[in-house]
Chain A
């Protein structure tokens, strides 16, 4: 009985994973189109940020799929980097520089 229940859970998990992968891939490809088309650079920046978030999802799904805890670091890192990257790009778009010079 327990075995049977496990099997069912596993099947459900597999199906969910599959659907999630397809969805996230579609999302990535659509983001890529936004990335390539633009039309403005802020569009691209937002697209890149969202790609980063999607990658977190990919990594998380893969961690489930591969049954490993080793990718958790990657997920956290992507989160930090996507934030940093987006801030940097945003600042660049806003001010034209990333690091301000001293005011002296």
Chain B
């Protein structure tokens, strides 16, 4: 199974080489065999005696991260969708994309995406699942931005990336929490420990995190905004990613984790509300679109909302209907996208206002579109699969039982009405999509080219998908026992196999369907009259504006924050650094009780020490207030010599020698570059700034003093100096202990300090000698 998952990625490596021959053979033809062979590999598993298959390949066993592949009914459904529709999309793209396009890039991204998606649905390991999940986001980003020279493409790619990666990261948070609680990284093992998870205090957080991941990926309200903008991608990509596979990854995630969360009452409430709201809002918005792909994008969102709602219901019937609709939606939506692509390809526009009366020019496409759109609308005809899933949806909304929670019981009452409401708009935009494009007067003057029928190769893929629509419509039970029931069982083990029938008798779901069709026809015919409502709702409200506002504000606010402290003034940085050290260190010293002052083991203070310290102190203070530059340098020299005297007093002749030399050299250096030193000016700062500087500097000095005193007062360990005193001559062969330490016991430090001096000398030479500006030449 590992090979099946990774083969698209491996093949993607050689795609750029194959694309060199694109003038002779379209690269897509080579690529086609990859998804098709994967499809053939997985189709073997279909059968009524299907048992889940598990395979493990080690990756990082020490962290419990392995390629654990678990093929159950749900994965199988998705795998077949991915590889099956993948094959058709590749076939379609062979005719859709001209060889002058960058085919190598296109198929590389597409194959990358295929691996990612197969990995998502087959992974049992949560971290591997997350890895593949992000790979779908990245490859989707690349595919949306395929025509990267278009501004809208880049905008759409960035938007989808930001939103889906935001969700992906929050999902990672949920997965980490889950694996911490259960102590395992396997989803199936987590499902076995469902009691532990349900009893955990973090359950709401985990669920929120994982649902965020699923909702953003599946374009649920209010994260649906990226999907319409993703329509800038080439149409095969839209058909594949944004109708059949990637957007269903969120659905898959919910289905995969619903055995864990379905015991939690908020799961029903949140998922159902989000699903139903998405269904209604997106189908309402779809009617307003003028771009064919825009309509289809909002239609996808609303259908995904419907599936999401059914998964939220969680009853056996609802789950079965959801699984059934996943299959149905993939068939008719895939074909519709391809048809939209054909229309775009043959007429040069996707604007529905410029299209009309195409049936006479493109009869084949028109016939295919009838099945797709009517199935999407859920019209009660026995050869349309959309009707069965819609009726199953209605039936499942009626079967809901209240759990006692007030919100839940309200939902149970409201959901059937909302479902009908959303479906009415679904009907309206489906009809608009078909009749607006294929009937009415042809507006040939608005089209660039005279429309004509698509090449036969382009029609093959939508034809096969429409064939699927019809076959499932005519024989709705064809796949149930062998295939779909296993998928539903993976979500909810109480699902029972029911026979789907076209005619159930006069029951409520039928009346709901008839109401949808009846009201839908009225709404469709009077569309012009009520279309003003869109000026009221959404009117100026739009989640796109919210998104743009957030992005812009993030930029602005972070720029403001950065500008506020990155002023370019060293004085400001110094103030910030010192103030931070002052505050943080004081805080921690106080909290940990670090300030201890004891007067034990203090040495006696002698007169000469006091005198020298007095001189140093006066000189140090004088440097701050002196007005003469040369004076400041010389007074600094006094401080240095004073320190040297202290070294003498404390019996450190080597230090004293060095200090004297260094101090003299420093003073000489100051004088050397005296001309370049800044003039001492009267500071023109505000009094408050001066006060702040004084507070910080005095506070910092006080802090360091107290820390030094505390360090001296806390004597934790015996000093190691006795060892040096004893062994300096014995081991080092020298009486000068300091020098023995410097070159013998701790010689390495000396080596690198020599290096530092060498580097400093070289740096000074380069600074002075090497000038690249023109003046130096």
Contacts and interface: CB of A to CB of B under 8 A. Distances in A.
A71 B746 CA distance: 24
A62 B611 CA distance: 14
Given A74-B660, A81-B664, A89 B671 contact: yes
A74 B648 contact: yes
B653 interface: yes
Interface string A68-82: 101101100110010
B74 to A, nearest CB: 84
A45 B653 contact: no
A75 to B, nearest CB: 9
Contacts of A18: 607
A36 interface: yes
Nearest to B647: A74
A36 B641 contact: no
B637 interface: yes
Nearest to B656: A74
A29 B645 CA distance: 14
A51 to B, nearest CB: 6
Contact of B648 (A22, A35, A62, A96): A62
Contacts of A99: 672
A52 B607 CA distance: 20
Interface in A15-55: 18, 21-22, 25, 28-29, 32, 35-36, 38, 41, 44-45, 47-48, 51-52, 55
Contacts of B675: 96
Given A51-B638, A84-B664, A74 B615 contact: no
Nearest to A99: B672
B455 interface: no
Interface size class of A (residues with CB under 8 A): 35 or more
B631 A41 contact: yes
A66 B628 contact: no
Given A41-B628, A73-B653, A77-B661, A36 B672 contact: no
Contacts of B653: 70-71, 73-74
Contact of A74 (B637, B657, B668): B657
A59 B647 CA distance: 10
Interface in B600-649: 607-608, 611-612, 614-615, 618-619, 622, 626, 628, 630-631, 634-635, 637-638, 641, 644-645, 648-649
B671 A81 contact: no
Among B630, B648, B664, B671, max chain A CB count under 10 A is at B648
Contacts of B618: 32, 36
A47 B638 CA distance: 10
A77 B651 CA distance: 16
A55 B628 CA distance: 25
Nearest to B655: A74
A58 B614 CA distance: 15
Interface in B717-733: none
Interface size class of B (residues with CB under 8 A): 35 or more
Contacts of A70: 651, 653
B634 A89 contact: yes
Contacts of B635: 35-36, 44
Contacts of B641: 51-52, 55
Given A32-B638, A48-B637, A92-B671, A21 B664 contact: no
B264 interface: no
B645 A55 contact: yes
Given A78-B660, A85-B637, A92-B674, A32 B628 contact: no
B672 A98 contact: yes
A13 interface: no
A28 B631 CA distance: 17
B630 A44 contact: yes
A25 B661 CA distance: 23
B169 interface: no
A88 interface: yes
A98 B644 contact: no
Nearest to B658: A77
A81 B667 CA distance: 11
A99 B675 CA distance: 13
A32 B675 CA distance: 26
Interface string B171-197: 000000000000000000000000000
B645 A58 contact: yes
Contacts of A89: 634, 667, 671
A48 to B, nearest CB: 5
A22 B630 CA distance: 30
A41 to B, nearest CB: 5
Nearest to A71: B653
Contact of B611 (A28, A51, A68, A84): A28
Contacts of B608: 21, 25, 58, 62
A82 B626 CA distance: 23
Among B615, B634, B649, max chain A CB count under 10 A is at B634
A81 B607 CA distance: 27
Contacts of A66: 651
B657 A85 contact: no
Nearest to A85: B664
Nearest to B664: A81
A65 B279 CA distance: 97
Given A48-B634, A98-B668, A29 B649 contact: no
Nearest to B618: A32
A41 B630 CA distance: 7
11 contacts: A28-B612, A29-B614, A45-B634, A58-B648, A70-B651, A73-B653, A77-B657, A77-B661, A88-B671, A98-B672, A99-B672
Interface of B: 607-608, 611-612, 614-615, 618-619, 622, 626, 628, 630-631, 634-635, 637-638, 641, 644-645, 648-649, 651, 653, 656-657, 660-661, 664, 667-668, 671-672, 674-675
Interface of A: 18, 21-22, 25, 28-29, 32, 35-36, 38, 41, 44-45, 47-48, 51-52, 55, 58-59, 62, 66, 68, 70-71, 73-74, 77-78, 81, 84-85, 88-89, 92, 96, 98-99
Given A44-B631, A59-B656, 20 more contacts: A21-B611, A22-B607, A25-B611, A29-B611, A29-B615, A32-B619, A35-B635, A38-B631, A48-B634, A55-B645, A59-B645, A71-B653, A74-B648, A74-B656, A77-B657, A77-B660, A78-B660, A88-B671, A92-B674, A98-B672
